[in-house]
Structure 1
Amino acid sequence: MEHLLNERVKNIEISGIRRFSNMVSHVEDVISLTIGQPDFPTPEHVKKAGIEAITDNFTSYTHNAGTIELRKAACEFVKKKYQLNYQPESEVIVTMGASEAIDIALRTILTEGTEVILPGPIYPGYEPVIRMMGAQPIYSDIRENQFRFTLDMIKPYITEKTRCIVLPYPSNPTGVSLNEGELREIADYLRDKDIFVLADEIYSELSYNQMHYSIASFLKEQTIVINGLSKSHSMTGWRIGFLFAPENIAKHILKVHQYNVSCANSIAQKAAYEALTTGIDDALSMKKEYEKRRDYVYQRLETMGFEVVKPDGAFYFFIKIPSTIALNSFDFAVKLVNDVKVAVVPGSAFSEYGEGYFRLSFACSMGTLEEGLNRIEQFLKK
């Protein structure tokens, strides 16, 4: 019966991140620097709120867009943190993680034959949805621009078919962010054009060198903002994301969300409310620790002679494989596992523009990072 399946689905591949991580998971004593999973536990007060929700039998459907108390808290959060103004009754949807938010946003705005401009390299979660909608991903190679997806990297690819531009900052896999001036320049150019911006800001609370700015501050009427609690509050398994958009856009996205999942998990919504209110600054202590790790890893990588851009946010390094190593990124990652038992993600998982690189996650303890980098250094000396 496989021949009857949707060809667009059959042509989609499992994420290269997961595929490689699963492939090496059985290797004994391997140090995994792969998955973007915070190594901190969910804050105790947030877990307690989830437990209380179960005890209080808060286990029924909620409003399709999420409880009004959580939507109010989400709007207050982005207003306080990023100066964004959204109406909780009509301009925010609580989703099953940022992944669902990306999915329902793209399924609402894309039609057959339209185009989406993305930076390359990029997280692999956008292209499959784009292709399933019969739209076309158009990549801009940002490798020679310090991984910055600035206006001059966007303009050459805009056509009459362009429907959306994806701005994922801070970036997975590069950790690079755009500053206020760069975002304002993009907003000024796109204003009044029939082009959406999908601003994936899931790592917004993990910005190190500068304040996080959202392009929605300058271009709200054309922007769909994606955020959530997975990275900021170490709540990956709780699956709570947020989609912010003007009412005339959000009301249509809500229909797709409704028929997709009905509503986000009610218990997780209670925990999320606690995270956004009592725990509004929970990310700060984690960010401080991540910044220490980032600085340590950067110093070690430079000492080893790697060519690398220091990340502004998130918890990744995107590292160029030395020209002296005649291997593609997948074979390099396999050899690293086989020779010194360190797992990283091949750059090819992040589009063809990631080939020749590998991603290293520093969302793990300093001891793990030290041992992992020692092994990589040993590998290079061989």
Structure 2
Amino acid sequence: MVEMSKHMRATLNDVPTLKLFDFSTFVSKIPDVIKFTLGEPDFDTPEYVKQAGIRALENNRTHYAPQRGTAGLLQAVSDNLAERYGLHYDPQTEILITNGVTEGAYAAITAVTNPGDVVLVPTPTFSIYGPDAIIGGAKAVEVDTSATDFRLTPALLQKYLDKYGDRVKAIIFVNPANPTGVVYTQQELNDLAALIKGKPIFAISDEIYSELNYDGEYASMAKALPDQTILANGFSKSYAMTGWRIGYLCAPKDITSEIFKVHSFIMMDIATFTQDAAEAALRGGTDAITAMDKQYIERRDYMLARLEKMGFKCTRPMGAFYIFTKIPSFLNQDDTKLIYQLAEEAHVAVTAGTFFGAGGEGYLRFSYATAMDQIKAGMDRLEHFCQNQQK
């Protein structure tokens, strides 16, 4: 018998499964486990958004949608970006509606890279961008930012530009960042943009957490480098619409047209009724976002105080809904082994920093996208575990 699995795309041998989801599946089998793992808002989708989706179904908005997106949602995205962020994109030629940022990132990376190209991926970061590059035959190069407070600095970026030269085709920017909660200022992004401006290098800017920016003004690579930036965003985090699977890409017309070629053969189109719901989300104002953000800040501050009291050295998150913390010396320094120990002994599930690439070793990520009562109970369990480890 021929082992057909050995005759598939060779680059897949270098593509791991998402360890975060593998671990989440494991801990789901543990009774009464408290999860601080996935970036899954515990809030429900706002009622007015759900009702818009229901009305769309009742009105038989269940047929094929235009491949680039419905006219209503494309216009709503364009209007929202202009009004809230000062970014201007033509809804007919410079915006694509995608199956979340995950598909958008894949389509963008696939469209801009050729075999042998280099994609620079500042780490620690969510683990989709490197595998996307590898699948297409490009080389994903992790840029460890742990020595620069988890920020990509001009000096660090220049080091990699010098090393890889003309092979560098794209750089990934995630702002606010997952897993660290770091938020770049516009000046910081401007300084980074100056190093690649006018060069054939794309800035792929994942801004899915843009509405979860607690301590500063909105900043974007799209402002610093509009001609070379591919902006990805969506509704999963800000509107608690993870299961709706809807996002968008924005870029200059000629770039968008090429990405569309990839997108159109991956997805064909995005469900019409979900686009109607997303349009309603944008047209409905920011009250729901503000209410969720207020609770996220309360949870962040509570969890941060509890962790620091236990001896964890934390990076204070300025955005998103994660705390990235160094493992205290009295606990197992192998982050992967520690998370399994915590899950099995304390019934508390957190994510290993190693899952997020170079620079994440020896760290844990705590998600506070869960209810305050669960956070308090989880912190109590963790504190009891830590006390036992110090005896």
TM class by shorter chain equals over 0.9
Please tell me whether residue 142 in structure 1 is matched to residue 148 in structure 2.
no
Deviations 1:6-54, CA, capped at 9 Å, x for gaps: 1222432211110110011110011111110001100001000101111
The alignment's TM-score, normalised by the length of structure 2, stands at 0.96
Which of 177, 185, 204 is 2:210 aligned to? Answer: 204
Give the corresponding residue for 1:7: 10
For residues 241 and 300 of structure 1, what CA distance do their matches in structure 2 show? 35
Please tell me whether residue 331 in structure 1 is matched to residue 337 in structure 2.
yes
For residues 184 and 120 of structure 2, what CA distance do their matches in structure 1 show? 16
Match of 1:173, SS state, is coil
Q: Counterpart of 1:363 in structure 2: which amino acid?
A: A
Match of 1:252, SS state, is helix
Match of 1:137, SS state, is strand
Q: Counterpart of 1:242 in structure 2: which amino acid?
A: Y
Please tell me whether residue 25 in structure 1 is matched to residue 31 in structure 2.
no
Query: Contact 1:184–1:215 (CA<8 Å) still a contact in 2?
Result: yes
Give the corresponding residue for 2:169: 163
Which of 363, 378, 386 is 1:380 aligned to? Answer: 386
Which of 348, 362, 365 is 2:368 aligned to? Answer: 362
Query: Contact 2:36–2:368 (CA<8 Å) still a contact in 1?
Result: yes
Please tell me whether residue 302 in structure 1 is matched to residue 305 in structure 2.
no
Give the corresponding residue for 1:340: 346
Match of 1:296, SS state, is helix
Q: Counterpart of 1:374 in structure 2: which amino acid?
A: D
Give the corresponding residue for 2:19: 16
For residues 380 and 227 of structure 2, what CA distance do their matches in structure 1 show? 49
Which of 181, 184, 190 is 2:190 aligned to? Answer: 184
Query: Contact 1:16–1:348 (CA<8 Å) still a contact in 2?
Result: no
For residues 37 and 326 of structure 1, what CA distance do their matches in structure 2 show? 27
For residues 295 and 80 of structure 1, what CA distance do their matches in structure 2 show? 30
For residues 203 and 138 of structure 1, what CA distance do their matches in structure 2 show? 23
Q: RMSD over aligned Cα, in angstroms?
A: 1.1
Change (3 A) 1:11 1:117: closer
Give the corresponding residue for 1:125: 128
Deviations 1:286-345, CA, capped at 9 Å, x for gaps: 011101111111111111111111001000011111233244111000110111100001
Paired residues in the alignment total: 382
Give the corresponding residue for 1:77: 80
Query: Contact 2:14–2:134 (CA<8 Å) still a contact in 1?
Result: no
Query: Contact 1:199–1:223 (CA<8 Å) still a contact in 2?
Result: yes
For residues 56 and 117 of structure 1, what CA distance do their matches in structure 2 show? 46
Please tell me whether residue 59 in structure 1 is matched to residue 65 in structure 2.
no
Deviates more, 1:133-142 or 1:164-173: 133-142
Query: Contact 2:33–2:343 (CA<8 Å) still a contact in 1?
Result: yes
Q: Counterpart of 1:209 in structure 2: which amino acid?
A: D
Match of 2:194, SS state, is helix
Deviations 1:140-183, CA, capped at 9 Å, x for gaps: 21112111122222110012211011001111111111011101
For residues 145 and 298 of structure 1, what CA distance do their matches in structure 2 show? 21
What stretches of structure 1 of length at least 5 have no aligned partner? none
Q: Counterpart of 1:177 in structure 2: which amino acid?
A: V
Structure 1 segments (4+ residues) deviating >3 Å: none
Give the corresponding residue for 1:154: 157
Q: Counterpart of 1:357 in structure 2: which amino acid?
A: Y
The alignment's TM-score, normalised by the length of structure 1, stands at 0.98
For residues 179 and 376 of structure 1, what CA distance do their matches in structure 2 show? 34
For residues 148 and 358 of structure 2, what CA distance do their matches in structure 1 show? 16
Give the corresponding residue for 2:250: 244
What stretches of structure 2 of length at least 5 have no aligned partner? none
Q: CA deviation at 1:281?
A: 4.2
Deviates more, 1:7-16 or 1:125-134: 7-16
Give the corresponding residue for 1:278: 284
